[in-house]
Amino acid sequence: MTQMDTEITAAMAPDKDWWRGAVIYQIYPRSFQDSTGNGIGDLIGITQRIPYIASLGVDAIWISPFFTSPMKDFGYDVSNYCDVDPMFGTLDDFDALVAAAHDKGVKVMIDLVLSHTSDQHPWFRESRKDRDNAKADWYVWADPKPDGTPPNNWLSIFGGSGWQWDARREQYYLHNFLTSQPDLNFHSAQVQDALLDATRFWLERGVDGFRLDTINFYFADKMLRDNPALPPERRNDTIAPSVNPYNHQEHLFSKNQPENLAFLARFRALLDQYPAATCVGEVGDAQRGLELLGTYTAGETGVHMCYAFEFLSPDRLSAQGVVETMTRLEAAAPDGWACWAFSNHDVVRHATRWNLSPQALCGYTSMMGALRGSLCLYQGEELGLPEADVAFDDLQDPYGIEFWPEFKGRDGCRTPMVWELSNHNGGFSTGKAWLPVGQAHLTRSVAAQESDPCAPLHHYRRVLAFRRAHPALVKGTQTQTQAQGDVLQFQRSHEGQTIFCAFNMSDRPAVLQMPAGEWRAIGTELGGATADALGGVHLDQWQPCFALKR
C-alpha cells in the first residue's frame, strides 16, 4: 500500500472520537411526532422529522426507550430488549430511521435501561417461579427479617420501600423505581452476558451509541447493608423532590458499588469492536455525581462520557456556580468527559425552572455552546418551551400521581412537540394526544419560529453552527475559568486555536477587561460584544463576548 493509499484509508475511516464535544438531541418518542393518528409518537414520525433535526446542526439523536414494554414507566420498564413496542412501530421502522438519520449525517444513540426490567419480562417471570429455576438469581432477591419486614432500609426513588414482597418465592425483590421494575442482579455473569448480547443486537442494526440509564444503579451491595442517614444540610432535590424520603439516605450500598467498573470494562470492550460506537452514562446521584463521572470515564475501559446533573438543579445557574462545577470536575475527572444538559424528560424545563426571560434563555444557550464537554438538548428546548401545566386528571406519570400536588411529576416536560398551528395538537397528531399540548406552546411552534429571525430556534442554530466552526469549542481544553461578579469567563484551546469566552449571566450591565494579548472579536452573530480601544468590554444583560487569539 502506497503512502497515498494509507492517507486515503485514514481519511475514510470513521472518527472514533466523534462524541467528544458532540451535540446530542434527545427525543422522547411518545411526544415527538405521531404518524398514525393514535395520539402517540412513533418511529416513523421521528423519521419524518429527520430533516428538521439535521437543520439544527446537531451531531446525533438520543431516542428514549421504544422497546417492548407494558409502559408502566413509559418504556423504562422493558419486557423485551430486542424488539420495538408495536406502539412505536417495528424493527423495519427503526432500520429506516437509522438510514434516514445517517443519510443526513446524524448519528443515532438509543437509551439502554440495563439496571432493571419490567416484571413482565420473561426473565423475571421465570425468576419469580421458585428459588431453584435457571434464572432464580437473575434478580436481587432476599429473605425477610425475622419479623417479616424488608431485608434492609433501602428506599425507592418513586416512594416507599425499595423492596416488594413476592408470595411465590416468599422473598422480597429489590426495585429502585416502581414495584413493577425489579432490579437485575449484576453479580450474576449470566445476567451480564444477556445484557451484552442485547447491546450487540442494536450495534449490529447500526446504532452509533447508547445512553445508559441509571448507570450507577447496576450493582447492589452483596451483603445488603443498610444505608446510613444523610444529614439535612447535605440533602438536595437534584435527583428526587424534597418531599421524597429518598433524600434522607446516603445511598452507599443500594448503588455506586465498585464492582460496576468491571462490568463497564466489559461493555466498553464490546463497543470497541465496532468502528465508532460510544456511550454516555447517566449518573443519578445528588452527592457524588462528579466523583462517579471521573471514576466511570477514567482511562480506556470506562464509558466515554457521563451525563452530569449539576446543571439540572432547581436553582438558577450562576457564574460562580459554573466555576465551582468546573473546578470540582477538574479535580474529580481531569481526563474525564462530561455531557451537559439544562433540560431532559425528568426535570422541569429550564425556561420555567430558572424563570428565564428570552434574553436569559439565549444567554444560557450561548454559554452552554462554549463549554468543554458534550451537550444534550431536549426536544422543544430550542423553541424556548416553558413547562406545560398538566391538570391532575390528565396526569400519566406515576411519580407525579404519588407526590401530587407538592411534586407534579414529569408530565409537564413530556407534552407533545409543537410543529405548527394547523390543529389543536400543534401538528403532533391528528388524534387525541396522550398528554395535552401545552396551550402556551402553540404560539412557539417550529413553523411560527421559522419565520421569526429573533426566535430562540434560530439562536440555537447559530450557537451550534458557531461551535462547530471552531474546533477549540468542540474538543479543546478549558482553562482560566473564573467569575467576576455575574460575568463568567474562560478560554478554550485546541491545536493552536484559542478563544476567549465571557458571559454576563445577569439582568444588569457589566464591564470586563480583555486578557493580555492580541484578540479579534468573533461571535457577533450571537450578539457578542466587542472590546473598545483600551480592551474594555461593556456587556449588556445576558450578553456574551467571544474573541480569537491572533
Residue 487 has pLDDT above 80, yes or no: yes
Residue, of 63 and 235, whose pLDDT is higher? 63
Do the domain assignments include residue 304?
A: yes
Are residue 212 and residue 231 in the same domain, yes or no?
yes
Are residue 536 and residue 513 in the same domain, yes or no?
yes
CA distances from residue 479 to 212, 334, 445, 539 in whole angstroms, order as listed: 29, 12, 38, 21
Do the domain assignments include residue 172?
A: no
Residue 8 confidence (pLDDT): 45
Do the domain assignments include residue 347?
A: yes
**Which of 230, 75, 243, 235 is CA-nearest to residue 157?**
243
Report the C-alpha gap between 21 and 23 in whole angstroms.
7
Are residue 463 and residue 481 in the same domain, yes or no?
no
Q: DSSP H helical segments within 309-406, as ranges?
A: 319-332, 350-353, 358-368, 398-403
Are residue 273 and residue 371 in the same domain, yes or no?
yes
Other beta carbons within 10 angstroms of residue 515's beta carbon come to 15
Residue 5 has pLDDT above 60, yes or no: no
Three cell numbers written together for 18: 466523534
The pTM of the full predicted model, rounded to 2 decimals, is 0.96
Are residue 224 and residue 291 in the same domain, yes or no?
yes
Mean per-residue pLDDT, 307-333 = 94
Are residue 235 and residue 371 in the same domain, yes or no?
yes
Count of domains forming the chain: 2
Report the C-alpha gap between 359 and 365 in whole angstroms.
10
Mean per-residue pLDDT, 259-283 = 97
Looking at 467, 488, 522, the residue that finishes a domain is 467
Do the domain assignments include residue 181?
A: no
**Which of 511, 514, 545, 540 is CA-nearest to residue 528?**
545
Instruction: Cite the active site residues.
Output: 213, 282
Do the domain assignments include residue 142?
A: no
- Judged by phi (left if over 0) then psi (alpha if -120 to 50, else beta), residue 55 lies in alpha
Looking at 418, 442, 467, the residue that finishes a domain is 467
Domain at 287, CATH number: 3.20.20.80
For 145-261, strand residue ranges (E) read 163-166, 171-174, 209-212
Are residue 370 and residue 461 in the same domain, yes or no?
yes
Are residue 362 and residue 267 in the same domain, yes or no?
yes
Domain at 507, CATH number: 2.60.40.1180
Three cell numbers written together for 40: 402517540
Domain with 525 in it: 477-549
Do the domain assignments include residue 219?
A: yes
CA atoms within 13 A on the CB side of 422: 9
Mean per-residue pLDDT, 425-434 = 96
Are residue 246 and residue 269 in the same domain, yes or no?
yes
- Read off the pLDDT of residues 125-146 as tens digits, 9 standing for 90 and up: 999 999 999 999 999 999 999 9
Are residue 196 and residue 326 in the same domain, yes or no?
yes
DSSP assignment of 251-282, as one string?
A: -SSSS--TTHHHHHHHHHHHHTTSSS-EEEEE
Other beta carbons within 10 angstroms of residue 27's beta carbon come to 23
Helix (H) or strand (E) holding 29: none
Are residue 307 and residue 195 in the same domain, yes or no?
yes
Looking at 438, 467, 496, the residue that finishes a domain is 467
Do the domain assignments include residue 125?
A: no
Mean per-residue pLDDT, 161-169 = 98
Residue 537 has pLDDT above 50, yes or no: yes
Are residue 381 and residue 501 in the same domain, yes or no?
no
Do the domain assignments include residue 144?
A: no
- Read off the pLDDT of residues 382-415 as tens digits, 9 standing for 90 and up: 999 999 999 999 999 999 999 999 999 999 999 9
Residue 6 has pLDDT above 80, yes or no: no
